[in-house]
Structure 1
Amino acid sequence: MREKLGNRLPKFSEEDKELLRNTMDFVGLNQYTARFIAHATDGPEEVNFYKDQQIEIIAQWEGGEMIGEKAASEWLYVVPWGIRKVLNYIAQTYNNPTIYVTENGMDDEDDSSLTLHEVLDDKLRVRYFKGYLAAVAQAIKDGVDVRGYFAWSLLDNFEWAQGYTKRFGMVYVDYKNGLTRHPKSSAYWFSKFLKGGENKAGKEN
């Protein structure tokens, strides 16, 4: 790593290292999707940190099947088993620290051709949260110290590079009509889930 990155890597004194050792209060994990990774010395990725890692990011199984259902963003696939694997990896690698899942969710395309009823009926997001929460629960059963989970997000919002073209919210925000808010199917499912109505919430109407 030092040979490849040179002076871009920070330097720590022995005093710095002692100050930092075992000092984290918790790990905050933002996790949305998962991919397969292969070694690639001359990969297609433009971003420096991918080139530095010498990796190829793969969204398909060896047989050609996609790794999961596709969300709106080109990078986002629904892969619930990925979060269980990364939670277990953190626990095994870093002496089982306290973990909070600080972001987890998926987006829909902002499509003005759809009716309000159609945009509120977000069945894929319901499947996403059911799968990912089940995977987090399994990681806890594996012994991982997960203390909290934050869904991304409550409301549709402005996304960094994509503006208002992608909608991550469980509540639809009508940008053209006074920012009125309409709960989606996922909001009702999440409410039932939090109240303990898991069996009822499991039915998709």
Structure 2
Amino acid sequence: MFVQPKQGGFIGIVAQTMMYEPLTEFDQEAASRALAFNTAWTLDPLIFGNYPPEMRSYHGSELPQFSSEEAKIIKGSIDFIGVNHYSTLYAKDCMHCSCILGGDRSIRGFVYSTGERDGVPIGEATGMPRFFVVPRGIGEIIDYIQKRYHNKPIFVTENGYASLEHQQVQVQDLLHDVKRIEFHKSYLASLAQAIRNGADVRGYFIWTLMDDFEWAQGYGMRFGLYYVDPQTLNRIPKLSARWYKNFLTNSSLNSKENVYISEV
């Protein structure tokens, strides 16, 4: 907002988001609280000028108070919302029961999150712990943000699939990344439905173009559409890179090179 008068700027912030679903029928409020203590904690102050009421109701004066001048400065200070989204988890209420949350129960909103219910994963596993394949989640988190923030413009700034790691994985297997294609097709379909439902989504970015250094996981965690040879640094397009190119350009998928891609 501050650079608009002189530069015509368009400024936003990126929130790392998980979607949360109730673990049981008694955990509806816990799932809602988990969203507030994660996503809304980042966005509410910049849009409404205060912390989420869900946090205020539990923490009260423990939360910092914005002065009237501070609230005036930060309220409405972003033009768009960036969303990093990969997965969905179950939420369990820990307000009145013992949960293994460590020392940050209040920061977690007194909610225990898990990727399993009765031993059954919420979705197919990926190479990143707690990142399960749950396509409906991206549509649901976009719907949550759309309704809470009056359909402010949204950019999906990160969405991607980490390959499952194997000890003796061959390069050719890494290049034939069918699971990554399936992931992006299903997540994009869910995102498209959210757009049809009215969400003002302006962009979508895959994480990531090339295999990269993923924090503590280093080069062993592969999200990229391009394989990077660790010895030569040569970049080789995976099957997903060719599929995504065809998706973006609406190209014909009838050539021999793309026969399998069209079947995925």
TM-score, normalised to structure 2, is 0.69
How far apart, in 1, do the equivalents of 2:250 and 2:112 lie? 42
Matched with 2:235 is: 181
Higher relative contact order (CA 8 A, sep 6+): 1
Matched with 2:168 is: 113
How far apart, in 1, do the equivalents of 2:220 and 2:60 lie? 36
How far apart, in 2, do the equivalents of 1:199 and 1:37 lie? 41
After TM superposition, list the pairs within 5 Å mapping 1:92-131 onto structure 2. Answer: 92-111=147-166, 113-131=168-186
Contact 2:246 2:253 in 1 (8 A): no
Contact 2:81 2:154 in 1 (8 A): yes
1:113, CA displacement in angstroms?
A: 1.7
1:119, CA displacement in angstroms?
A: 1.2
Structure 1 unaligned blocks of 5 or more? none
Judge which range, 19-28 or 44-53, deviates more: 44-53
Taking every aligned residue pair, what percent have the same amino acid on both sides? 37
Contact 1:45 1:51 in 2 (8 A): no
Contact 1:125 1:186 in 2 (8 A): yes
SS at 1:100's partner residue?
strand
How far apart, in 2, do the equivalents of 1:45 and 1:100 lie? 32
Determine which of 65, 78, 82 is the counterpart of 1:11. Answer: 65
Contact 1:4 1:52 in 2 (8 A): no
Determine which of 208, 218, 221 is the counterpart of 1:153. Answer: 208
1:72, CA displacement in angstroms?
A: 0.6
List per-residue Cα deviations over 1:5-35 (Å, max 9, x = no partner). 865x332111221222223110000001111
Matched with 2:38 is: none
List per-residue Cα deviations over 1:27-83 (Å, max 9, x = no partner). 000001111111124422347377541111122346x43211110111111111000
How far apart, in 2, do the equivalents of 1:52 and 1:60 lie? 18
1:132, CA displacement in angstroms?
A: 0.7
Note closer, same or farther for the CA distance 1:124–1:84 as it changes in structure 2 (3 Å cut). Answer: same
How far apart, in 1, do the equivalents of 2:236 and 2:106 lie? 39
AA matched with 1:53: G
1:174, CA displacement in angstroms?
A: 0.8
Over aligned residue pairs, what C-alpha RMSD do you find? Answer: 2.2
Note closer, same or farther for the CA distance 1:69–1:52 as it changes in structure 2 (3 Å cut). Answer: closer
Matched with 1:31 is: 85
Matched with 1:59 is: 115
Judge which range, 90-99 or 104-113, deviates more: 104-113
Contact 1:38 1:56 in 2 (8 A): yes
SS at 1:151's partner residue?
coil
Contact 2:180 2:240 in 1 (8 A): yes
Note closer, same or farther for the CA distance 1:170–1:191 as it changes in structure 2 (3 Å cut). Answer: same
AA matched with 1:194: L
TM-score, normalised to structure 1, is 0.88
How far apart, in 1, do the equivalents of 2:221 and 2:103 lie? 22
Determine which of 182, 196, 212 is the counterpart of 1:141. Answer: 196
Matched with 2:13 is: none
Matched residue count: 201
How far apart, in 2, do the equivalents of 1:136 and 1:65 lie? 25
Matched with 1:166 is: 221
How far apart, in 1, do the equivalents of 2:206 and 2:241 lie? 11
Note closer, same or farther for the CA distance 1:23–1:4 as it changes in structure 2 (3 Å cut). Answer: closer
Structure 2 unaligned blocks of 5 or more? 1-54, 255-260
